[in-house]
Amino acid sequence: MKIGLLTHSVNPRGGVVHTIELAHALQDAGHDVTVMAPATPGQQFFRPVRCATQLVPVSSTPTDMVAMVGSRIDAYVAHLTPLLEREPFDVLHCHDGIGGNALATLQERGLVDGFVRTVHHLDNFTQPQLMAWQHRSVHQARQVLCVSRVWQATLAGQGIAALEVPNGVDAARYSPVAQSTDAALAQRLGIRTEGLVLLCVGGVEERKNTVRVLQAFVQLRAQMPQLQLVIAGGASLLDHSGYAREFHALLQTSGASQDVLLTGPLADTDMPGLFRLADVVAMPSLSEGFGLVVLEALCSGVPVVASHIAPFTEYLQDQDARWADPLDATSIARAIQQALLGRDAQRIQASATRLAAQFSWQRSAGLHAEIYLKMRAITLCP
């Protein structure tokens, strides 16, 4: 099949990682795959892509969220219209509301006969237009997919029969085997390898619960003065400035600023080493589509702390993670301490092996291909 996969940016976000990994697995299975994403002048995908790509030119000028999203939808429509005339696709599959709205517009114009939309998670936007676009991108899709049962149930409540197609993890890329470059990475970033490292991935965002992570870290410092908090990533199209101000205000008054490192977005090649430098990875999120970081950490040989909520409770067993109440900083601190003091390499390896076998990109691609073929068969029926 000729498959077009649309994502919302070239930055290292979960949905973009999912799109690229799915594209590689589909390409390896013999399909002709093109990955598309909006990109400002000079931007490229955050990691090499082993299939065809289309970068949709967009301006970096709009600062208003509605204007920015609207301009990216329009750019996608303008880019895809002549492309589809030259290169018809068997399947067009988007992973967010930007691509979904572009495909919905092209569907209304008769240029595509349906599209697939994966819902990783849904946001509660304050702007009505953003909520309307999110709704349209899901409800106009011919087939909706999601990566966990909790979102499948959420969509069922909206009258949408979504299919669950899980994520995967690259167990060869994320490994506990130390590399010669790990020490240089620690020195470059300012990670104190002589102490203990608490790692959070995803930047400072409300959904990632970063303020409560900082509150938990402050509590732990009294008993673990050698502990360092490292917060990596944060490339996002959404505006998290208000929450970031709350975080930095707490950081300034906490007395812990010298022990907190915010790396910002990192090169993709740094991520496996970053996980290996951690002594624990915490993901006490308030909401997640799946939580791929948890699998990446376990495959790297690192214990994890996760929120005791779905989707984590869907695929993690009690031996895989230390559970935390995401609304209680003390609970998060307790889980982090338990993970640090009770680290068991053999148990972590057993969890990683089981989960990597259950969640592979090859299996995910196979399930996607089956869905695509069924859709294609329905479309071709007289």
- 233-237, 246-250, 351-355: least confident range: 233-237
- Token pair listed for 57: 């030119």
List, for residues 157-177, the tens digit of each pLDDT value.
Answer: 999 999 999 899 999 999 999
Is the pLDDT score of 203 beyond 70? yes
Would you say 186 and 173 are in contact if contact means Cβ atoms under 8 Å apart? Answer: no
Span(s) in the chain for CATH 3.40.50.2000: 2-168+360-380, 182-358
Is the pLDDT score of 137 beyond 70? yes
Give the relative orientation of helices 292-299 and 345-358 as an angle to the nearest 10 degrees: 130
Is the pLDDT score of 381 beyond 60? no
Amino acid 382: pLDDT:
42
**Across residues 130-157, what is the average pLDDT?**
96
Is the pLDDT score of 378 beyond 80? no
Is the pLDDT score of 379 beyond 70? no
Instruction: Return the bridge partners of 91, or none.
Output: 3
Amino acid 236: pLDDT:
72
Alpha-carbon distance 51 to 365, whole Å?
Answer: 15
Would you say 322 and 305 are in contact if contact means Cβ atoms under 8 Å apart? Answer: yes
List, for residues 233-242, the tens digit of each pLDDT value.
Answer: 876 767 778 8
Amino acid 238: pLDDT:
72
pLDDT band (50, 70, 90) for residue 63: confident
Does the domain spanning 2-168+360-380 belong to CATH 1.10.357.10?
Answer: no
User: Is 131 or 60 the better-scoring residue by pLDDT?
Assistant: 131
**Across residues 52-69, what is the average pLDDT?**
88
List, for residues 89-127, the tens digit of each pLDDT value.
Answer: 999 999 999 999 999 999 999 999 999 999 999 988 999
**Across residues 342-362, what is the average pLDDT?**
96
Instruction: Return the bridge partners of 305, or none.
Output: 282, 322
Residue among 235, 354, 188, 213 at smallest CA distance from 280? 213
List, for residues 74-98, the tens digit of each pLDDT value.
Answer: 999 999 999 999 989 999 999 999 9
Residue among 362, 200, 376, 188 at smallest CA distance from 275? 200
List, for residues 255-310, the tens digit of each pLDDT value.
Answer: 899 999 999 989 899 999 999 999 999 999 999 999 999 999 999 999 999 999 99
Residue 344: is it exposed, middle or buried by C-beta count within 10 angstroms (0-12/13-18/19+)?
exposed
- Token pair listed for 54: 């289309």
Is the pLDDT score of 58 beyond 90? yes
Is the pLDDT score of 140 beyond 50? yes
Is the pLDDT score of 380 beyond 90? no
Q: Tally Cβ neighbours within 10 Å of residue 284.
A: 29
Residue among 202, 219, 180 at smallest CA distance from 287? 202
Amino acid 237: pLDDT:
67
182-358: CATH superfamily: Glycogen Phosphorylase B; (3.40.50.2000)
List, for residues 11-27, the tens digit of each pLDDT value.
Answer: 988 889 999 999 999 99
